[in-house]
Amino acid sequence: MPIDPKIALGATLPGQKFAWSPSDVQLYHLGLGAGARWTDPAELRYLDDRSPQVLPTFATVAATLRATEAPRVSMPGVEIDLAKVVHASQEVVVHRPIPAEGKASSTGRISELWDKGSAAVVVQETAVTGSDGQPLWTARSSIFAKGEGGFGGERGPSTRSELPDRAPDFDVTTPTLPQQALLYRMCGDRNPLHSDPEFAHDAGFPDPILHGLCTYGIVCKTAVDTVLGSDAARVTGFRARFAGVLYPGESIRSRMWLGTGEVHIAASVPEREHAPVLADVRLTFSS
Name the catalytic one among 29, 87, 194, 264: 194
189 catalytic per annotation: yes
260 by DSSP, 3-state: which?
Answer: coil
Name the catalytic one among 189, 225, 264, 280: 189
Q: Look at residue 1 in the predicted model and tell me its pLDDT.
A: 58
CB 210 within 8 A of CB 181: yes
Whether the model clears a pTM of 0.75, i.e. scores above it, the answer is: yes
Q: What whole-number distance in Å separates Cα of residue 267 and Cα of residue 222?
A: 11
Q: What whole-number distance in Å separates Cα of residue 140 and Cα of residue 223?
A: 20
194 catalytic per annotation: yes
Nearest partner of 187 among 24, 74, 23, judged by Cα: 24
The domain made up of 5-285 has a fold known as Thiol Ester Dehydrase; Chain A (3.10.129)
- Three-point CA angle 30, 33, 38, nearest 5°: 85
> For every one of its 287 residues, what pLDDT tens digit does the chain have, with 9 covering 90 and above?
578 888 888 999 999 999 999 999 999 999 999 999 999 999 999 999 999 999 999 999 999 998 777 677 888 888 887 777 788 999 999 999 999 999 999 999 999 888 888 888 989 999 999 999 999 999 999 988 888 888 888 787 776 778 999 999 999 999 999 999 999 999 998 889 999 999 999 888 999 999 999 999 999 999 999 999 999 999 999 999 999 999 999 999 999 999 999 999 999 999 999 999 999 999 999 98
CB 65 within 8 A of CB 188: yes
Q: Look at residue 149 in the predicted model and tell me its pLDDT.
A: 82
